[in-house]
Amino acid sequence: MAETIHRPDPDELLARLKDEEQRQARGKLKIFLGYVAGVGKTFAMLEAAHQRREEGLDVVIGYIETHGRKETEALVAGLEVLPRREVAYRGTVMTDMDLDAVLARRPKLVLVDELAHSNAPGLRHPKRYQDVEELLEAGIDVYTTINIQHLESLKDVVQQITNVTIRETVPDRIIDEAYEIELVDLPTDELLSRLKEGKVYIPDQAMQALEKFFRKGNLTALRELSLRRAAERVDNQMVDYMHSQSIPGPWPAGDRIMVCLSSHPMGERLVRVGRRLADDLKGEWYVVFVETPGHLHMPAQNRLRMQQNLRLAEELGARVVSITSESVAESVIDFAHQHNITKIVAGKPLRPRWFEILRGTVIDQIIRNSGRIDVYVVSEGTEIPPKELTKFIPGALAPHKPLSRYIASMFLVMGVTLLGHPLRNILDPTNLVMLYLIAVIVSSVFLGRGPSILASFVSVLAFDFFFIDPLLTFTVYDTQYIVTFIGLLVVGLIISNSAALLHDQVDALRLKGQQSQALNDLSRELTAAISLEQVLQTVIRHVNAMFHREAVILLPENDRLLVRAATPGFSINESELAVADWAFKHGKEAGRGTTTLPAAAIRYIPLVTARETVGVIGNKPQDPQVLLSSDQRILMEGVVNLAAIAIERASFAEKAAQTEMLRNTEKLQTALLNSISHELRTPLATVTGVLSSLEESEHGKPEHRLDQATRLDLIRSATRQADRLNHLVENLLDMTRLEAGAMQLNLEPTDFQDLIGATIHQMSPEVCDRSLNVEIAPDLPLVPVDAVLIAQVLENLLDNACKYSPPQSPITISARVNQDQIEVAVQDCGVGIPAADLERVFDKFYRVQRQETITGTGLGLSICKGIIEAHGGRIWASERAEKGVTISFAIPVHFKGLP
Amino acid sequence: MIENTYRILVVDDEPEIRRFLRASLKSHQHEVVEADSGMGAISQLREHHPDLIILDLGLPDIDGVEVTRRVRAWSQVPIVILSVRSREVDKIEALNAGADDYLTKPFGVGELLARVRVVMRRVGNTGTKPIYRVSDLLVDCDRRKVTLAGKEIDLTPTEFDLIRILIENAGKVVTQRQLIHRVWGAAYEDDSRLLRVNISNLRRKIEPNPNQPCYIMTELGIGYRLKDD
């Protein structure tokens, strides 16, 4: 029989390859795992480091603690030790690894002792393992040490064994993802004797606590834990290997574990149990939190605990899912079916028996509907402080409702009683019950659950007291009324609960509605915002309104983050800027409320789009105690996503506009060069030509001399050309002055009749030799203008009129007042301007395309436009009905200078 | 007519300008002294006592306006300013400081010689010329009588003051400030409204076509010049 060849699934193989690649790009982490201090982890690590160095690797020590032991120090001596970073904290100076120094030094391998260490406040990360992660990300290999009790998932086991609280923990994934683990083991007896010899360093203040710790029983248990953990790891590697080599084996059935989390204090334990179960079964595990409308009233303390538990779950490697639903049990079962969950872990809080009978427990519902799924119920232990317990249970009775509502409900019942009293002779007592039901319904709808439950109870008592014989006592003769009482109470309670539930749902819906409305508004406003500046201001304003938080947006410019917009009066300092920078470079949240640089005052969220990280948004609550609820966090995520996309779009638009402007400038420069070089050279050529021919004539033989008439003619032509050159240079200078904004208006009350006359007078006959019709309305007011500049406008207009109209055709200049504006027009009977070009003729270097060879730079009209606009006026061209063109300008009669 | 010849001090830092001015002036038999800086101009003035100064405004050491001011402190030698167009304000300043006339660069030599002639004609003739006559316009200052083509014209006292001052400086430019100062007094110097209105009225009375005046010429942004030939 042929042997079956098991081929690995190609997808799986690819995934493994990718995994391998990623691991290669990342630095490799080797962990020296011990079960307790003193087993020789640091020593083993140093020895290994020496070996690597002998192999030619670049090895440095990032941080090491020798505790004054000679053998260890001797090993340190041969290696490069990077200086530590000193942090002043509350009067003492603490030293820690200088992460940036290591990153800058970029060794192949760095030794970082004590992975579970907590960094001094103010450093980038609160925990050393986060430093190590950053080193690994940077492609640097790391050797580190850790004791088994610092593993997050084993924390409570160790606590149970040793009764010592472990504060510093490292997420299990760090160990799981480590490239290699070396178990450093030492038999417990040997360790104890080393301890007695003083070879194990224990700080004085911890002596007492540690004496308890170093008992043989404890040590043996811890040793077992660490051996088991290492074995598990080897087992995993074996399985991996078998997978990759297509060796079929007894795979554990693909168990999927689901932990149902609530805000209850035992949540933390549930998460740890889930992790251990997942480890043992080698299954995937989920942590699910079902948010019900009731959670809206969750006290801040529970909310905080909830968030901590979810974060813990994430650290322990769970997939964390948050579901919004009314019924916990239903959605848990739904989720379990959808995700092929095989085992559900849920907690059973201690509650009074009556509570369970009355409301049923979620656990029971889950078990009833679980079908083939195993349900693990973890009961509440005694380790939960009773104080917290009492706090939790009354939570159901909504103690946070203001007292006034309870009083109002009592008044309601009292009112009904007073109303019912005169009616008691007309109505049966059982019908009076209906009145009380009204009171209960009213209070449940308007006052909430608690007051309405109170109303139900008080109603029963009042009904008995005032309407049932014997009156004014709680005694009942007729036992049938007991049924009435129970009926009234039960109906009252059910109504209370349903109405309150409805209320809560409405609230939840309203909140969700408000949130989506807010997002919708933001999105609409962002769509309308065109410039980057508008986008930023819109985002800032909305963050402020939606979260009551001050916000700041930082965008990169020349590889540096710069504050581009902020809530008025909100500024950030250098160190905050560094936090923002970290968030930007790593594309992860940093600062307040995160695990990176939590000492910062502001929380920075990177603005990430599909393409890149476009910037960072920082936000800070107006009240420093307020944290974002999970709803708000989701909303914030939505805002941040919208903002990122809008900012990316706006910066694209800005870049496009800049490119367009550059291109236009280039076009302009080319046009300028073409036009100017032609316009400058032509007259210069004439002048040079005339001068050289005169010179030639002087030198040459008498028969080659030019006669006097020719000479005069040449000289006149050269003078004309020089004039033209002068005119051009003046235009260029004016253009430059206009562009530079250096055009200073010397406003003087000006008589336009005088101005027009003087302009005509000073124009050289070579430029314009026409007879001009001057039509000036009588009694023109004096208008404040810069006479010299306006004369120049007129000169340019007249010059154009002469150039573009046939010789001897009339040119008309007119001036009149039209609604507080003085309007001056120059009309010719020339070729005119095509309708499409009427506006464009005022653009710089724009010249109407024509057959004729009329010279010009296309500057004249744009200078006119500049000057007229500087006078607060406007200039325009219009076609004349018969032939030719009219160029007019209008200037306010009471112009007082532009603001 | 034999032209008078003068000793003329040419002040310009541009050697090429000095070269052609020297050539043109010498060809009209004027004697030329040169300076290439403001301080040089003042020392040449002390040494050679020229009859007229042609002064560029943009000098390397001290500004032409300042040179004018210093010269006027002790000398009444006529000064003709040379300037490029962009220095309109400087021109007015120099004229107000006592310069006699100005020319904008670039200029023709013919124009320069004409200005020199006009300015030199005024020298030693500071008093009111009793009779001014150009084409059809005749002004008798002593008798305060103005006739245009034989027809007597009625002028207000202010209008007559204006034309009298222009006649004193016929052919030369008179700045607005100088006119206002002499007719209305120093308090009105910054308000040119009255001046404009009066000039406008005056033109309406004496000019055949006020749209294109031929007696009172406007030097835009500077002042007025009465035609003189």
Please provide the DSSP assignment of A166-179 as one string.
Answer: ----B-HHHHHH-S
DSSP state of A605: E
Task: Pick from B220, B225, B226 the residue to mutate for testing the A interface (most A CBs within 10 Å).
Answer: B220
pLDDT at A396: 35
DSSP state of A623: S
pLDDT at B109: 86
Q: Which residue has the tokens 């080599």?
A: A245
What is the average per-residue pLDDT within B127-156? Answer: 82
What would the pLDDT profile of A596-633 be if each residue is shown by its tens digit?
A: 777 788 888 998 888 888 899 988 877 766 667 777 77
DSSP state of B60: S
B101-105/B79-84 β-pairing: parallel
Is it the case that residue A297 has pLDDT exceeding 70?
no
What is the average per-residue pLDDT within B4-21? Answer: 90
Residue A163's region, left for phi above 0, alpha for psi from -120 to 50, else beta, is left
Report the mean per-residue pLDDT for chain A.
Answer: 80
How does DSSP assign A846-857, residue by residue? -----SS-----
Residue pair B54/B80 in contact by the 8 Å Cβ criterion:
yes
Chain A residues whose CB is inside 8 A of the B221 CB are 746, 748, 786-788
Q: Where are the alpha helices (DSSP H) in A360-448?
A: 362-369, 386-392, 403-423, 429-446
Extract the tokens encoding B190: 């910054």
Strand partners, A92: A89
Is it the case that residue B159 has pLDDT exceeding 60?
yes
Quote the CA–CA distance of A65 and A57 in Å, as a whole number: 22
10 Å Cβ neighbour count for B75?
16
What is the nearest CA distance from A791 to chain B, expressed in angstroms?
A: 8
Residues making up chain B, counted from first to last: 229
For chains A and B, count residue pairs whose Cβ atoms are closer than 8 Å: 59
Whose CA is closest to A600, among A579, A570, A622, A626? A579
pLDDT at A889: 94
Quote the CA–CA distance of A628 and A634 in Å, as a whole number: 9
pLDDT at A664: 76
What would the pLDDT profile of A35-63 be if each residue is shown by its tens digit?
A: 888 888 888 899 899 888 888 888 999 88
* CB–CB contact B220 A758 (8 Å): yes
Share of chain A above pLDDT 70, in %: 86
Tell me: cis bond preceding B106? Omega within 30 of 0 counts: yes
pLDDT at A1: 43
Residue A774: which of B211, B218, B219 has the nearest Cβ?
Answer: B211
Interface residues on B facing A, Cβ-Cβ cutoff 8 A: 85-86, 88-89, 106, 108, 192-193, 196-197, 199-200, 203, 210-213, 217-221
What is the average per-residue pLDDT within A877-890? Answer: 87
* CB–CB contact A760 B212 (8 Å): yes
* CB–CB contact B199 A746 (8 Å): no
User: What 3 state SS string does A757-826 have?
Assistant: HHHHHHCCCCCCCCCEEEEECCCCCCEEECHHHHHHHHHHHHHHHHHCCCCCCCEEEEEEEECCEEEEEE
Strand partners, A812: A773, A827
Residue pair B129/B167 in contact by the 8 Å Cβ criterion:
yes
Quote the CA–CA distance of B169 and A800 in Å, as a whole number: 36
What does residue A210 show for φ and ψ, rounded to 5 degrees? Answer: -75, -25
Residue in A with minimal Cα distance to B224: A758
The winner for highest mean pLDDT among A302-316, A510-524, B36-50, B111-125 is B36-50
Quote the CA–CA distance of A686 and A717 in Å, as a whole number: 8
Residue pair A727/A859 in contact by the 8 Å Cβ criterion:
no
10 Å Cβ neighbour count for B13?
16
Residue pair B54/B112 in contact by the 8 Å Cβ criterion:
yes
* Contact residues for A724 (Cβ-Cβ < 8 A; gap 6+): A683
The winner for highest mean pLDDT among A190-204, A255-269, A280-294, B52-66 is B52-66
Is it the case that residue B54 has pLDDT exceeding 90?
yes
Residue pair A553/A616 in contact by the 8 Å Cβ criterion:
yes
What is the nearest CA distance from A656 to chain B, expressed in angstroms?
A: 39
Query: A10-25 and A216-244 are packed helices; what angle lies between their axes, rounded to 10 degrees?
Result: 120
Is it the case that residue A389 has pLDDT exceeding 60?
no
Task: Look at residue B102 and give its three-state secondary structure.
Answer: strand
Would you tell me which residues 714-733 of chain A have a C-beta closer than 8 angstroms to some C-beta of chain B? Answer: 719, 722, 726, 730, 733
pLDDT at A768: 62
pLDDT at B43: 93
The winner for highest mean pLDDT among A83-87, A139-143, A220-224, A319-323 is A139-143
User: What 3 state SS string does A488-513 have?
Assistant: HHHHHHHHHHHHHHHHHHHHHHHHHH
What would the pLDDT profile of A188-245 be if each residue is shown by its tens digit?
A: 888 888 777 776 665 554 555 566 677 777 888 888 888 877 777 777 776 666 666 6
* Contact residues for A540 (Cβ-Cβ < 8 A; gap 6+): A551, A552, A553, A565, A566, A567
Share of chain B above pLDDT 90, in %: 27
Query: B176-183 and B157-168 are packed helices; what angle lies between their axes, rounded to 10 degrees?
Result: 130
10 Å Cβ neighbour count for A683?
21
Residue pair A833/A847 in contact by the 8 Å Cβ criterion:
no
Quote the CA–CA distance of B62 and B36 in Å, as a whole number: 11
What is the average per-residue pLDDT within A406-420? Answer: 87
What would the pLDDT profile of A811-869 be if each residue is shown by its tens digit?
A: 899 999 988 899 999 998 888 888 888 888 888 777 777 655 666 777 788 889 888 98
Is it the case that residue A11 has pLDDT exceeding 80?
no
What is the average per-residue pLDDT within A317-334? Answer: 81
Predicted TM-score (pTM) of the model is 0.46
Residue A757: which of B85, B192, B211 has the nearest Cβ?
Answer: B211
Is it the case that residue A329 has pLDDT exceeding 70?
yes
Residue pair A142/A178 in contact by the 8 Å Cβ criterion:
no
Is it the case that residue A531 has pLDDT exceeding 60?
yes
Residue pair B77/B6 in contact by the 8 Å Cβ criterion:
no
Task: State the Cα angle at A56 between A53 and A58, rounded to 5°.
Answer: 65
User: How many alpha carbons lie under 13 Å from residue A302 in its C-beta half-sphere?
Assistant: 19
What is the nearest CA distance from B174 to chain A, expressed in angstroms?
A: 15
Whose CA is closest to A60, among A96, A133, A113, A123? A113
Residue pair A532/A474 in contact by the 8 Å Cβ criterion:
no
What would the pLDDT profile of B169-220 be if each residue is shown by its tens digit?
A: 888 889 988 899 988 888 887 778 889 889 988 998 888 888 888 899 988 8
Chain A residues whose CB is inside 8 A of the B106 CB are 722, 726
Is it the case that residue A538 has pLDDT exceeding 50?
yes
What is the average per-residue pLDDT within A438-446? Answer: 84
pLDDT band at A354; cut points 50, 70, 90: low
Sign of the torsion formed by the C-alpha atoms of A140, A146, A151 and A155: negative
Residue type present at position A397 = L
B7-11/B52-56 β-pairing: parallel
Quote the CA–CA distance of A137 and A100 in Å, as a whole number: 13
* CB–CB contact B220 A791 (8 Å): yes
Q: Characterize A186-197 residue by residue with b for buried, 16 or more Cβ atoms within 10 angstroms of its Cβ, and e for exposed.
A: bebeebbeebee
pLDDT band at A887; cut points 50, 70, 90: very high
Whose CA is closest to A284, among A321, A317, A246? A317
Is it the case that residue B150 has pLDDT exceeding 70?
yes
pLDDT at B52: 93
Whose CA is closest to B227, among B142, B169, B179, B184? B169
DSSP state of B186: G
pLDDT at B35: 93
* Contact residues for A399 (Cβ-Cβ < 8 A; gap 6+): A450
Task: Look at residue A748 and give its three-state secondary structure.
Answer: strand
What does residue A55 show for φ and ψ, rounded to 5 degrees? Answer: -75, -5
